[in-house]
């Protein structure tokens, strides 16, 4: 079968599109004919070797996929079922979604929600699924649109694009932080009410800043997250789900102890199945498929490796769907 294979190389790793033996698929009780995947920031790190995402070699890249079950020994799935998989070490410790076949643990799979095609599910992908986990966490925390604005950082990226659409659809006034001023019209089309230059969130964060938003979805980390916390309103909350700007957090405790701000950690990789099912059900209900289409571009299998480089360079807007 064809696959994007990541192997050890002098000084790091190397990725190529080539043939991979079906017989070398890893253990699992469900075999899926993969029809679509996508490219997330983590996929870019894995393919380029910019971070030690891959833990075993050779590895098939791709941290998520959608497809059709070919065979199953799992009680919840049968041949012909349409399924989605995000996380669980796919593309890191378990052979991933950039292949024509995948054999996986059936407990990792989620049935494709009614109302979404397999291509649309990967237009959402791990990035959009993560954005919904953030929204759900903010809702569980009791946050509502009448409490103030919603900040979205890394706004033109995959998580940011879906987060803007979701939050706007739920009634939030959205402030979109981006370093790409040329994407302002695109972000407004998704539902952003205000465009903020990401430079306002760069640099050393003060202990506290002017209160500007009630909630936030942050995929950037580092000084961006520190500044976002410092400018969160009393009783507000930020859902942190990424580290595109760095894994450090040069903040103080002042927002937490003087304004009661909460920092909500979002893990998309090992989220329990009930939360995954809830997230995908809400995505099928809440996502604006028209907006999803405007933020999505479809690429062929042989375009994955250059696209992975582009996503790390900040050249990718919205979502990329890979047709396997």
Helix axes 118-140, 273-286, angle to 10 degrees: 110
- Contact of 53 with 42, CB cutoff 8 Å: yes
pLDDT tens sequence across 110-129 = 999 999 999 999 999 999 99
Same domain for 253 and 137, yes or no, is yes
Q: Which of 265, 280, 313 is the last residue of a domain?
A: 265
**308 falls within a domain:** yes
Average pLDDT, integer, range 216-224: 97
Specify the CATH number for the domain of residue 94: 3.90.180.10
Query: How many CB atoms neighbour CB 106 within 10 A?
Result: 18
Q: Are residues 6 and 90 in the same domain?
A: yes
Same domain, 103 and 174: no
User: Left, alpha or beta for 154 (phi > 0: left; psi -120 to 50: alpha)?
Assistant: left
Same domain flag for 233 and 153: yes
Residue 279: inside a domain: no
Same domain, 80 and 15: yes
Distance in angstroms (rounded) separating the CA atoms of residues 139 and 136: 5
Q: Domain of 141?
A: 126-265
On whether both 52 and 157 belong to a single domain, the answer is: no
Predicted local confidence at residue 10, as pLDDT:
87
Same domain, 147 and 215: yes
Clarify whether residues 130 and 46 are in a common domain: no
When pLDDT is averaged across residues 54-67 and rounded to a whole number, the result is 97
Residue 138 resides in a domain = yes
248 and 302 inside one domain: no
Mean pLDDT of the chain: 96
What total number of domains does the chain contain? 2
pLDDT of res. 11:
81
pLDDT at 140 over 90: yes
Specify the pLDDT at position 165. Answer: 97
Q: What is the pLDDT of residues 247-299, one digit of tens each?
A: 999 999 999 999 999 999 999 999 999 999 999 999 999 999 999 999 999 99
pLDDT > 90: what percent of the chain?
A: 97
pLDDT at residue 254, as a whole number: 98
Helices (H), 111-266: 118-140, 158-169, 184-190, 222-230, 254-258
Strands (E) located in the chain:
2-9, 12-19, 30-38, 59-60, 64-72, 82-86, 101-104, 110-111, 150-152, 174-178, 194-197, 213-218, 232-240, 262-265, 296-300, 319-323
Are residues 184 and 240 part of one domain? yes
| Confidence grade of residue 170 (pLDDT, cut at 50, 70, 90) | very high
The arithmetic mean of pLDDT across residues 143-156, rounded, is 97
User: Are residues 102 and 132 part of one domain?
Assistant: no
Per the domain annotation, does 285 fall within a domain?
no
């Amino acid at each position: 079968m064809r696959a994007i294979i990541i192997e050890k190389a002098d000084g790091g790793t190397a990725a190529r599109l080539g043939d991979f033996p079906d017989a070398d698929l890893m253990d699992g009780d469900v075999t899926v004919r993969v029809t679509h995947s996508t490219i997330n920031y983590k996929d870019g790190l894995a393919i380029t070797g910019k971070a030690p995402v891959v833990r075993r070699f050779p590895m098939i890249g791709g941290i998520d996929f959608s497809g059709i079950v070919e065979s199953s020994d799992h009680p919840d799935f049968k041949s012909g079922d349409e399924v989605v998989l995000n996380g669980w070490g796919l593309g890191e410790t378990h052979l991933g979604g950039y292949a024509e076949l995948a054999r996986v643990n059936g407990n990792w799979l989620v049935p494709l929600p009614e109302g979404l095609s397999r291509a649309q599910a990967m237009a959402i992908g791990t990035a959009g699924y993560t954005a919904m986990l953030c929204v759900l966490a903010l809702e569980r925390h009791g946050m509502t649109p009448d409490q103030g604005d919603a900040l979205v950082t890394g706004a033109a990226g995959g998580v940011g694009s879906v987060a803007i659409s979701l939050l706007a659809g739920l009634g939030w006034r959205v402030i979109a932080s981006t370093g790409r001023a040329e994407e302002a019209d695109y972000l407004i089309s998704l539902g952003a009410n205000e465009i903020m230059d990401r430079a306002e969130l760069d640099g050393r964060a003060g202990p506290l800043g002017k209160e500007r938003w009630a909630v936030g979805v942050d995929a950037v980390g580092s000084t961006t997250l520190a500044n976002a916390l410092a400018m969160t309103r009393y009783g507000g909350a930020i859902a942190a789900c990424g580290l595109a700007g760095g894994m450090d957090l040069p903040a103080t405790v002042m927002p937490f102890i003087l304004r009661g701000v909460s920092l909500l950690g979002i893990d998309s990789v090992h989220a329990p199945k009930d939360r995954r099912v809830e997230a995908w059900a809400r995505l099928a209900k809440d996502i604006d498929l028209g907006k999803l289409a405007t933020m999505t571009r479809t690429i062929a299998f042989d375009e994955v490796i250059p696209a992975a480089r582009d996503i790390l360079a900040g050249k990718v807007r919205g979502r990329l769907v890979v047709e396997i």
